[in-house]
Amino acid sequence: MPDSIINCSDPKSADVVLLGANYDVTSSFGKGADKGPAAIIGCLDKQIEFYERFTKTAPADQLKIAYHDLGDLNTLLPEAMVERVRGIYEEYFKAGKFLVLLGGEHSVSNGPWQAMAKREDAKGITILHIDAHFDLRDTDADYHDEPFGKFAHSCVMRRAVELGFNTTHVGVRAYSKDEYDFAKSKGLAIFEWGQGETPTPEEIIATIKTDKVYLTIDVDGIDPAHMPATGTPVQGGLEWYYTLQLLQKLFQKKNVIGADIVEVAPRAADTLTEYGAAQICYSIIAYKFMSSGL
């Protein structure tokens, strides 16, 4: 048995590559998301059990799992950061690696989407978006005195829609009127939390009409009882085991071609959030590869 889930030192030879996007520049409330990747990797290295109990598999015993730290991206303006992430992501993506991007604020997700849109038909991909917020602003000018523009973290899903991706939004419970109006005008699939009965995972997945799916998880989409350390927490959200059930059913029914977990902002004496993000990351790997007979 390897000593760590991160068991491969050469990402080029790995089956799975975790990318650490250490960036927290445009966030609008609490800071610290640039420390998220290291905290998640620390839990994967030392705390997460190799045996994933829902799939009854041990992916780290069979797969090569590597970590590529993208370095300190905080010195870059958002556009330059996105270009840096896009370039590195594209190299691994075209090499056939399964990639999980660890953030970092949500703006880092622009990199994978730009990379995929260059190599695939975006209309043939749905982004399943778990988040307390729509992130559909055009810019951040309504709340930043010196706005960062179109690549602020609150604009990431607007950019995805513009690239041509289909989107399904799950767990939304805080948004502006303009965002809501935009979502309705585009006919986006929306599952708000706290209004009526909780949808079943099957009901959510039924809105996804493409076989290929990209999964983006802002941890504030999950109930802060489970994920408290994040920059813009909102009461309510997805329950822990509901989240894992949704993800497992998604991987069973769809071809998930990539994923990210963002907005983990570690805080002292509270490791619950990074531990949860690390567990989700490892479960995603298990869900992706469990049909391969691990």
Q: Which residues are annotated as a binding site for Mn(2+)?
A: 106, 131, 133, 135, 218, 220
Residues 6+ apart with CB under 8 A from 154: 26, 28, 106, 133, 135, 137, 140, 143
Give kind and range of the element (H or E) at residue 282: helix 272-289
| C-alpha triplet 41, 91, 83: angle, nearest 5° | 80
| C-alpha triplet 20, 26, 31: angle, nearest 5° | 70
Query: How many CB atoms lie under 10 A from the CB of residue 167?
Result: 25
- Burial track 38-63 (b if 16+ CB lie within 10 A, e otherwise): bbbbebbeeebeeebeebebbbbeeb
Beta strands 125-130 and 189-192, pairing class: unpaired
* 244 CB-contact burial (10 Å; exposed 0-12 / middle 13-18 / buried 19+): middle
Give kind and range of the element (H or E) at residue 172: strand 166-172
Q: Which amino acid is at 251?
A: F
SS3 (DSSP) at 251: helix
Residue with tokens 């691990």: 294
Residues tagged in the binding site annotation: 106, 131, 133, 135, 218, 220
